[in-house]
A and B are shown apart, each in its own frame.
Chain A
Amino acid sequence: MTNSGILLDAPARDESPTPVPPRRRRSGVNRTHPALFLFPLPALVLYVVFFAMPTFEGVRYSVTDWDGFSAEYNNVGAGNFSTIATADDLFRGALFNNLKFMLVVVVFQTLISLALAVFLVRNSRSSILLRALYFLPTILSSVSVAFIWKFVYDPNFGLINTALGAVGLDGLKSSFLGDDGKAIFFVAATQVWFHVGQMMVIYVAGLQQIPADLYESADVDGASRWRQFRHITWPLVAPASAIVIAYTTVQSFKAFDLILGMGGNPPKPSLDILSTRIYAGFANSQFGYAAAESIVFMVVIALVTWLQRRAVALAQSQA
């Protein structure tokens, strides 16, 4: 726990590292030891060759109909993109599933992790133990979590339906992942279970920054718990909320493994999201088309992140 405070402070400063080129070079010696330029070199070489160049290469693929192995391919210009925009129901379905998934995960993961953090903010023995327990799912692999929850949701033998049957609430039984209209929400619930503990830790760190005397004087004034939360905790924990919401949003687009584990490979349409759709294109040797999809994917993430930042900033300015 002691480290997280230090580490958490880092991004605030490095929000956007925009380098400012110097107008004029300072006269005199450059004080950087020349050997220092060798240190980032291995990282830069690996990163440029295996990460940056493939990213730009993807743009080149996206305007072709390349299948991944033929020597020949055609330049189709913006053809892939116009197909995605107008004629690809699978892509559109995956986009809507992904947005539904994201909304549900962001709302519930944020609220539940905040509630748990408020309850566990004090560093008592039991709080520390419970935090460790709640954090545990985060370290499991997505495939493991997917298998655990496939059984929880199993319509015939699963934990939920068995438990409901045992207490006589058979009317509430569901086919869960078999119900195409709701399946994506049940996977969203699993995602929340998976990562609430991780977000709770960020909130605990944020809550512990709030000075205790604020609550003491509110107590003296006779303010209720709810009023204290509304007027002290909520506004002052806003920086942590911004981190949690931003991270959860991006994470919802990266839920690739969980979807493959719960929805099959390739997932059925009711559980398909953007990342699994792109993978399916790759698996079907539609390299050019999938590359175009992945560019649209990046744009969608950038757009959603931007909108959501605006919304958070707006909400906080009115709080």
Chain B
Amino acid sequence: MGFNLTRRTVLFVYAVLIIVPMVVVLAGTFKTTQQLFSSPFGLPDKLDGANYRQVLGQGGLGGAFRNSAIVTACSVPITLFVGSLASYGIARIRGWVGHLIYGFIVLGMAVPAQANMIPQYVLFDVLGLTNSLIGLVLINVVVTLPIAVFIMTGFLKTIPGEIYEATSIDGSGPWRTYRSVILPLSTPSLAATAIFLFVIHWNDLLYPLLFIQEPGKKTLPVALLSFQGEFLTDYPLLFTGVVVASAPIVVAYVFLQRYFVAGITAGSVKG
């Protein structure tokens, strides 16, 4: 059976390509540089948390972790709320006005971040929103609105029109319909969008790199990037930073895997 043998070989090799680097990194967080270099594939002698204490304390990842958590915890729900309001309006406004609003917002997906980041920086600087976590929340909301509206409108259009009509015959206004019919109905798509936004906002490097100079306001990806210069080839410390920065997302992935796949797939279709 040539096909089955090929299949098994390819799947095994690819699994090794994913698992080995991850295990090396995780094991490496409990090693000294010397131990890592002398036996990169080996398991650590003992589970010593010295590297973790160093990156969280002196390395500043503890504060960065907190900043990332604050920014993500604010920007994901706000994007979801503002985006779902807009998507609901777009799905229900009849005629060309709804299409126009949709087209205008979704056009933003075609604009690469590097194309408008400089004027955005100038604007945020004028408003005193650089070196500020509020500024990061705002920019996260703004730049992910187009894709959030794209995903959620796509979902809302699959809700049959009769549901809207039934509720408006009931005499309930649009806000009631949104709150008590549409939001509950779209929970799966909201969850998928939320996960997609969580991954983007948590991992974002560009905007904190642009907007944040104060060390105390840095988020995880920026703090991690600055390790590069600081610890140069101290791989165990770099690895510990990687594990700290990735832990929340990987833990969430273990439990909410299907929403990750659905959300990121929906986002990548036009992201």
Q: A257 to chain B: which residues have CB within 8 Å?
A: 203, 205-206, 221
Given known contacts A1-B262, A4-B261, A147-B242, is B112 in contact with A142 (CB within 8 Å)? no
Q: Is the CB of A40 within 8 A of B253?
A: no
Is A83 among interface residues, defined by CB-CB distance under 8 A?
no
A225 touches B (CB below 8 Å): yes
A43 to B83, CA, bound (A): 7
Cβ-defined contact, B40 with A162, below 8 A: yes
Give the residues in chain B near A243, CB-CB below 8 Å.
268-269
Are the C-beta atoms of B265 and A7 separated by less than 8 Å?
A: yes
- Residues of A248-302 contacting chain B, CB below 8 A: 250, 253-254, 256-257, 260-261, 264-265, 274-275, 278-279, 282, 287, 290-291, 294-295, 297-298, 301-302
A47's partner among B37, B99, B105 (CB-CB below 8 A) is B105
Shortest C-beta distance, B174 to chain A (Å), equals 5
Range, interface on chain A: 35 or more
Interface residue total, chain B, C-beta cutoff 8 A: 114
How long is the Cα–Cα vector from A115 to B108 in the complex, in angstroms? 33
- Bound form: Cα–Cα A257–B52 in Å: 24
B116 touches A51 (CB 8 A): yes
Across the interface, which residues of A come within 8 angstroms of B96, CB to CB? 19-22
Q: Is the interface of A mostly helix, strand, loop or mixed?
A: helix
B40 touches A58 (CB 8 A): no
Once the chains bind, are B189 and A43 in contact (CB under 8 Å)? Answer: no
Which chain B residues (96-131) contact chain A, with CB distance < 8 Å? 96-97, 99-106, 108, 110-123
| B57 in contact (CB, < 8 A) | no
Interface string of A1-32 (1 = CB under 8 A from B): 11110111111011001111110000000111
Give B residues with C-beta under 8 Å from A: 3, 7, 10-11, 14-15, 17-22, 24-25, 28, 36-37, 40-41, 82-83, 85-86, 88-90, 92-97, 99-106, 108, 110-123, 138-139, 141-143, 145-146, 149-151, 154-155, 157-158, 168, 173-175, 178, 188-189, 192, 199, 202-203, 205-206, 209-210, 220-221, 224-225, 227-228, 233, 235, 238-239, 241-242, 245-246, 249-250, 253, 257-262, 264-266, 268-271
